[in-house]
């Protein structure tokens, strides 16, 4: 080989040599390769590095280069990734609470387990028009501010009400992203976080992924019990309480007016934050919707999050965090570290949507549609499955919380429902600890129409 030989030539030569070697056999030393093939030390180093990257050889500093075992050679069997088990330690991300253990529903299944609006309920034309207008903006693809577009932050500040200003708002990539940011920003790994019992499974998964320990606090028909919340703060030393005061998922409960004040008082006394998940702000069924907790908070106790995803469409991943004081600075810092900013075209489209007359029409029409669907499913269940009890009438949201007869198994009921072509959510997923009772969550917004809801109830009556 001449002095002009490249590392590519040497790699080809060494591959031929490796075909005659057994795993563990030693290759010639770098000095031998330089002398034998008349190449430079750099050429040898590059060739060995490429073969090592391919898994063809193993280098041992101070010892030499050896032929790798066949399982690590490209195309000769599965790669050995067992080493990752040690490298990843024990920080597993548990998604069992947000995935269906029964797997994807077969075609034709009536979906009562969905958490988003059916396409027929989405403002698809308004979304398309908003996206088109946003794309025509000359600065649509420019970098967005870390906190979000000023005009969009003003919209979210207006939705929150009270003394919230645009400077108190941080635009996020939907509600789930906001949850993850708050849990990582406020509490250290290993810390407890208080949650309502039952609660949103996505919050449980996000808290555990951040290394936090969810601690359940019981609810009744008026929401979380302030007396037990105070006890939980005292017993655990928690500095964070996650709650959904308005149209709670899964029960639909609205925290009563007197308890709203008590919850804030209890949290202030404990020196703790209240994370208010206001996901259902635009999912009321036509009646008055209570003010957010953050609207009456003057001390920075409440970290408020909301989203446009639920009332619009699954892929409109735009939401907001509202916070005051040092916690907002930490949240902004996390935004810079995570992804700098939410993509500007999506923010522009969201702003176009909520600023148009079509948005108000959509929200009013959605309220009527959800109220009718709620009534349809409630009546059908009472008729077809009288042994099941709808926990309470709800004034907003997308779900019914159903209690099964004493002694029933919610998992078995969900499996049986799948057999008759209906997908439901097992209630056990909504509890941070042992479930207090056998329940199912039944959604009424993911089906095509009210007729499908009636048919789903009829099929459930066969169980």
Same domain, 131 and 192: yes
- Give the model confidence (pLDDT) of 165-195 as tens digits: 999 999 999 899 999 999 999 999 999 999 9
Nearest alpha-carbon partner for 385 in 277, 335, 456, 457: 457
Q: With CA atoms as reference, report the closest residue to 391 among 333, 431, 437.
A: 437
Nearest CA to 310 out of 278, 349, 286 is that of: 278
Q: How much is the average pLDDT of 255-261?
A: 95
| pLDDT at residue number 391 | 81
Distance CA(132)–CA(439), nearest Å, equals 44
DSSP code for 222 = T
Sheet holding 439-443, edge to edge: 389-390, 399-403, 439-443, 425-426
Q: Report whether pLDDT(74) > 70.
A: no
Is 259 inside any structural domain?
yes
Provide CB contacts within 8 A for 246, sequence distance 6+: 254, 255, 278, 280, 281, 289, 290, 292, 396
User: What's the pLDDT band for 6 if we cut at 50, 70, 90?
Assistant: confident
Residues 203 and 251 grouped into a single domain: yes
What tens digit of pLDDT does each residue of 419-456 get?
A: 999 999 999 999 998 888 899 999 999 999 999 999 99
Instruction: Give the mean pLDDT of 186-212.
Output: 94
pLDDT confidence tier of residue 229, bands split at 50, 70 and 90: very high
- Give 102-126 pLDDT, tens digit per residue: 777 788 899 999 889 999 999 999 9
Q: In this model, does residue 237 exceed pLDDT 60?
A: yes
- Give the pLDDT mean for 62-86: 69
31-45, 85-99, 232-246: which has the minimum mean pLDDT?
A: 85-99
How confident is the model at residue 78, as a pLDDT?
63
Report how far residue 428's alpha carbon sits from residue 441's, in angstroms, rounded to the nearest whole number: 10
Does 23 fall in a domain? yes
Q: Which of 324, 357, 390 is the last residue of a domain?
A: 357
% of the chain surpassing 90 pLDDT? 70
Of 340, 357, 374, which one is at a domain's C-terminal end?
Answer: 357
Whether residue 219 sits in one domain with residue 205:
yes
In the predicted structure, residue 236 carries a pLDDT above the cut 80? yes
Total tally of structural domains belonging to the chain: 3
CATH code, domain carrying 141:
3.40.640.10
Residue 231, both tokens: 């006890």
With bands split at pLDDT 50, 70 and 90, how would you rate the model's confidence at 244?
Answer: very high
On whether residue 333 sits in a domain, the answer given is yes
196-225 CB burial, b ≥16 within 10 A, e <16: bbbbbbbbbbbbbbbebebbbbebeeebbb
346 lies in the same domain as 234: yes
What pLDDT is stored for residue 2 in this prediction? 46
Q: Tell me: pLDDT of 57 over 70.
A: yes
- Give the CATH number of the domain where residue 404 resides: 3.90.1150.10
Summarize the confidence of residues 136-158 as an average pLDDT. 93
DSSP string, 444-458: SSSSSSHHHHHHHHH
The per-residue pLDDT for 434 is 87
| pLDDT score for 77 | 57
- Do 64 and 130 lie in a common domain? no
Asked whether residue 78 is domain-assigned, the answer is no
Q: Which of 357, 374, 393 is the last residue of a domain?
A: 357
Residue 70's pLDDT band, with cuts at 50, 70 and 90, is: low
State how beta strands 273-277 and 302-307 pair. Answer: parallel
In a domain, 263, yes or no: yes
Residue 310 lies in a domain: yes
Residue that wins the pLDDT comparison between 79 and 53: 53
Q: Is the pLDDT of residue 3 over 50?
A: no
Sign of CA dihedral 27, 31, 32, 35: positive
Q: Are residues 237 and 181 in the same domain?
A: yes
What is the structure's pLDDT at 5? 55
Burial class (CB in 10 A: 0-12, 13-18, 19+), 415: middle
Domain shared by 103 and 130, yes or no: no
Q: Kindly state whether residues 167 and 304 are assigned to the same domain.
A: yes
Q: Tell me, yes or no, whether 171 and 270 share the same domain.
A: yes
| Same domain? 348 vs 447 | no
Residue 49 tokens read as 């590095």
Answer yes or no: is 81 within a domain: no
Q: Residue 257 pLDDT > 70, yes or no?
A: yes
Quickly list H helices, 70-218: 83-87, 124-135, 150-160, 175-186, 201-209
> So what's the pLDDT on residue 71?
54
Could you tell me the CA-to-CA distances from 252 to 249, 272, 394, 404, 446 in Å, in that order? 6, 25, 5, 17, 17
Mean pLDDT, residues 34-48 taken together? 89
Summarize pLDDT for 362-414 with one digit per residue, the tens. Answer: 999 999 999 999 999 999 999 999 999 998 778 999 999 999 999 999 999 99
DSSP assignment of 157-190 equals: HHHH-TT--GGGEEEESSHHHHHHHHHHHHS-TT
Residue 76 has pLDDT above 60, yes or no: no
Q: Supply 146's token pair.
A: 């870390």
Residue 4 has pLDDT above 70, yes or no: no
User: pTM, whole model, 2 decimals?
Assistant: 0.81
Domain span holding position 345: 124-357
Residues 373 and 232 in one domain: no
CATH number (domain holding residue 43): 1.10.10.10
- Residue 351 in any domain: the answer is yes
**Domain check: are 23 and 105 in the same one?**
no
Residue 54 banded pLDDT, cuts 50, 70, 90? confident
Collect all residues with Cβ–Cβ distance below 8 Å to 204 and sequence separation of at least 6.
97, 195, 214, 432
DSSP assignment letter at 4: T
């Amino acid at each position: 080989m001449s002095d002009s030989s490249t590392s590519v030539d040497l790699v080809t030569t060494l591959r031929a040599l490796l075909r005659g070697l057994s795993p563990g056999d030693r290759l010639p030393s770098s000095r031998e390769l330089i002398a034998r093939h008349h190449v430079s030390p750099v050429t040898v180093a590059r060739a060995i590095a490429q073969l090592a990257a391919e898994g063809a050889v193993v280098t041992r500093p101070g010892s030499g280069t050896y032929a790798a075992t066949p399982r690590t050679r490209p195309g000769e069997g599965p790669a050995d990734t067992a080493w990752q088990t040690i490298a990843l330690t024990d920080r597993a991300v548990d998604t069992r609470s947000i995935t269906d253990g029964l797997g994807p529903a077969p075609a034709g299944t009536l979906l009562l387990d969905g958490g988003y609006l059916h396409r027929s309920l989405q403002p698809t034309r308004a979304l398309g028009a908003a996206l088109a207008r946003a794309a025509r903006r000359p600065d649509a693809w420019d970098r967005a501010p870390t906190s979000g577009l000023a005009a969009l932050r003003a919209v979210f500040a207006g939705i929150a009400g009270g003394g919230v200003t645009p400077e108190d708002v941080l635009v996020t990539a939907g509600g789930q992203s906001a949850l993850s940011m708050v849990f990582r920003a406020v509490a250290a790994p290993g810390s407890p976080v208080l949650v309502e019992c039952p609660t949103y499974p996505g919050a449980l998964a996000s808290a555990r992924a951040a290394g936090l320990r969810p601690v359940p606090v019981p609810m009744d028909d008026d929401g979380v019990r302030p007396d037990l919340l105070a006890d939980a703060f005292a017993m655990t030393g928690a500095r964070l309480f996650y709650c959904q005061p308005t149209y709670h998922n899964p029960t639909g409960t609205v925290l009563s007016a007197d308890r709203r004040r008590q919850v804030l008082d209890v949290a202030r006394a404990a020196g703790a934050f209240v994370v208010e998940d206001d996901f259902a702000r635009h999912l009321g069924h036509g009646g008055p919707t209570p003010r957010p907790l953050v609207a009456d908070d003057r001390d920075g106790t409440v970290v408020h999050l909301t989203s446009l995803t639920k009332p619009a469409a699954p892929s409109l991943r735009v939401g907001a965090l509202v916070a005051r004081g040092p916690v907002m600075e930490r949240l902004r810092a996390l935004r810079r570290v995570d992804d700098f900013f939410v993509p500007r075209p999506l923010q522009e489209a969201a702003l176009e949507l909520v600023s148009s007359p079509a948005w108000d029409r959509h929200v009013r029409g959605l309220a009527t549609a959800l109220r009718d669907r709620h009534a349809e499913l409630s009546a059908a269940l009472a008729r077809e499955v009288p042994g099941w009890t709808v926990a309470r009438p709800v004034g907003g949201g997308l779900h019914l919380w159903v209690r099964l007869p004493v002694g029933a198994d919610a998992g078995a009921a969900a499996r049986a429902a799948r057999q008759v072509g209906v997908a439901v959510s097992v209630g056990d997923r909504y509890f941070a600890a042992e479930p207090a009772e056998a329940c199912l969550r039944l959604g009424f917004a993911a089906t095509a129409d009210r007729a499908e809801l009636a048919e789903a109830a009829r099929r459930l009556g066969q169980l």
